[in-house]
Amino acid sequence: MSEARHDWSKEEILAIYNKPMMELLYEAATVHRVHHDPNTVQVSTLLSIKTGGCPEDCGYCPQAARYHTDIEGNDLMKVSHVKAQALRAKASGSSRVCMGAAWRNVKDGPEFDQVLEMVRTINKLDMEVCCTLGMLTENQAKRLAEAGLYAYNHNLDTSEDYYKDVISTRAFEDRLETIDNVRKSNVTVCSGGIIGMGEEVEDRAGMLVALASLNPQPESVPINALVAVEGTPMAEMEPVSIWDMIRMVATTRIVMPETQVRLSAGRTEMSREGQAMCFFAGANSIFAGDKLLTTPNPDVNEDMAMFKLLGLNPQKPFVKVAQPTTTEAVDSELVPLGEKPKWTRPEHKIERNEIAKNNKKLVE
């Protein structure tokens, strides 16, 4: 059974990414079935609790104050409004609410206290709570943990080499420091990136090297396709190919086998067939709702119809890894094409029967 490695080289990851598509899909799907239930996908709702006016210059982001976009800014939401949105999300099948605020960094004071109250409120609804608020100190991470925060999102966005072509107001090391501060609390880490920003394939591999090198690896890795927004420096970027998304999801799954791979921004441009391929390749989380902070997203009813079509089930809250519950996953342990998995061989009959018994107990 494959285990998480922290010593991947860029060359190794590139070799995986560039495999023939059918071979890449086979390997990724095999790893996925060993570590996860292939028919379970987490549904999360992303809520912008404070929109626009950010002092950063992220080239992809319509919330930067310096860009002229059609984004309508708003002050920090009231706790009652956030609770209402969370209840609506829960009723639609979401098990996690992710709250995003367009801040460069968290500042102690009334607004942060209000966010802490939002976290406490959603936590009482038996839902996972995630925040993405910018840079965070160790003390702030601990306060969020005490309030009941389940996850903190802080994306690396791209490789360290390409980072300066995307952002100049914050260093790559700043992002790693925030992740380190989160790790000092009991909050899980959500960190991924965006493809389609003009980067090379080597940069995609470099980003995965940085994420996989973290020990422990992030519990969640969002893979976003750039949504080009008029008024931002990346407005004229061509949409990324669905095949690039499938390759990126598959490679992420192989490199970080226990991580939840999140199929994030850009799904409005993906067909159901394309998304199904991403799920097959190892994606096991989506964001639901008509918006991802400020960019379009498929309607939740469309997503539920897709789940029904594909036989997918929404993941329940507070499940760190949706483990497989049948011996099928064990049988799928990675082996060369044409060779039987070791668990099907006679000498492993006892172990196989024990696993079947244990899985039966889990289901009961």
Our CA angle for 328, 332, 335, nearest 5°, is 160
Mean pLDDT (whole number) for 87-113: 89
Give the relative orientation of helices 242-255 and 272-280 as an angle to the nearest 10 degrees.
20
* CA-to-CA separations, 36 to 23, 137, 320, in angstroms, rounded: 20, 33, 10
Give the relative orientation of helices 242-255 and 21-35 as an angle to the nearest 10 degrees.
40
Co-location of 261 and 143 in the same domain? yes
Co-location of 229 and 350 in the same domain? no
Question: What local confidence, expressed as pLDDT, does residue 268 receive?
Answer: 81
CB 38 within 8 A of CB 32: yes
Structural domain of residue 333, as residue ranges?
327-363
Q: Is the pLDDT of residue 351 over 60?
A: no
Co-location of 250 and 201 in the same domain? yes
Residue 126 lies in a domain: yes
Co-location of 354 and 262 in the same domain? no
> What is the tens place of the pLDDT at every residue in 247-261?
999 999 999 999 999
**Which residues have a Cβ under 8 Å from the Cβ of 168 and sit 6 or more positions away?**
57
Residue 231 lies in a domain: yes
Interatomic CA distance for residues 272 and 307, integer angstroms: 10
CATH number at residue 166: 3.20.20.70
> What is the tens place of the pLDDT at every residue in 301-321?
888 889 999 999 999 988 866
Co-location of 297 and 358 in the same domain? no
- Residue reference for tokens 């501060």: 181
Comparing 130 with 301, the larger pLDDT belongs to: 130
> What is the tens place of the pLDDT at every residue in 50-82?
887 777 877 777 777 677 666 666 788 999 999
Co-location of 223 and 344 in the same domain? no
Q: Which residues belong to the active site?
A: 54, 58, 61, 98, 130, 190, 262
Q: Indicate the pLDDT class of residue 105, thresholds 50, 70 and 90.
A: confident
Residue 73 lies in a domain: yes
How many structural domains are present in the chain?
2
